[in-house]
Amino acid sequence: MSFAYKFRYIVVGDTGVGKSCLLLQFTDKRFQPVHDLTIGVEFGQRMVTIGKKKIKLQIWDTAGQEAFRSITKSYYRGAAAALLVYDITRRETFNHVASWLEEMREQADGNNNITIMLVGNKSDLGQRRAVSTEEGEQFAKENGLAFMETSARTRHNVEEAFLQSTSMVYEKIQEGAIDLSKCSGVTPGVDELCNLDRDTLPSGA
Ligand SMILES: Nc1nc2c(ncn2[C@@H]2O[C@H](COP(=O)(O)OP(=O)(O)O)[C@@H](O)[C@H]2O)c(=O)[nH]1
Ligand SMILES: [Mg+2]
């Protein structure tokens, strides 16, 4: 199916916070109750519609590598958007958010325009909450991130987290704030290429 743009997404955060489950819920509308590092796929894909434009999201998962601190630079490179996930019931996963952010920005390779959404996952476990919504919001505000609390179990805000960040990337494209020739994580699709001036395209495109 044709699309206007393809956005490369990455999901980061401590092991066990629900990254693979968020991806599975978004692409497959399923929940995986057992934490199994080997279940992580390399990436999942889904088409969304923003305004009238079809946008293909290609979402990369760490596939368990985060547990061994062995995520490679190529994982971060050329990401249009990132979900930075912590678990609202485990304080230490929130404490590590700052170092994930630092790592992501270090590895971004001059792509300073990555859209980052801070995600407090497992909102269905409110009775075991160890990080307040306000703290999450505050951290996001101070660091220029979008913020949302989600549940990969109940699907609460899963769709919204992806759609809101996709809209943010799309707005940046509209404003000309994303340089498509750099490794921005945004690839124009055939739909969009047809609207561009053919003289400006590389030969063979
Ligand atoms: N209650 C609840 N459990 C969740 C949620 N998201 C993930 N889990 C559970 O948390 C564990 C780790 O999830 P997983 O996606 O493998 O974490 P990852 O290491 O960050 O990829 C699994 O047992 C999931 O079933 C959620 O929103 N609510
Ligand atoms: Mg995983």
The CATH number covering residue 83 comes to 3.40.50.300
Residue 50 inside a domain? The answer is yes
Query: Would residue 31 count as lying in a domain?
Result: yes
As for ligand 1, residues whose beta carbon falls within 6 Å of it are 15-21, 32-35, 40, 121-122, 124-125, 151-153
Structurally, the chain folds into a number of domains equal to 1
The string of pLDDT tens digits covering residues 84-121 is 999 999 999 999 999 999 999 888 766 678 999 999 99
How far is the centre of ligand 1, averaged over its atoms, from the C-alpha of 193 (Å)? 39
Q: Confirm whether 97 is domain-assigned.
A: yes
* Pair of tokens at residue 126: 């409110």
pTM, rounded to two decimals? 0.91
Question: 103 to each of 1, 100, 143, 147, how far by Cα in Å?
Answer: 35, 5, 14, 19
Say how many residues make up the chain: 205
SS3 12: strand
Q: Of 41, 36, 31, nearest to 124 (Cα)?
A: 31
Residue 167, in any domain of the structure: yes
Tens of pLDDT, residue by residue over 14-62, are: 999 999 999 999 999 888 877 766 555 688 999 999 999 999 999 999 8
Give the number of the atom of ligand 1 that is nearest the alpha carbon of residue 36: 16
Distance CA(141)–CA(33), nearest Å, equals: 32
Residue 205, domain member (yes or no): no
Residues of the domain holding 121: 5-200
- Spatial separation of the C-alpha atoms in residues 152 and 175, rounded to whole Å: 32
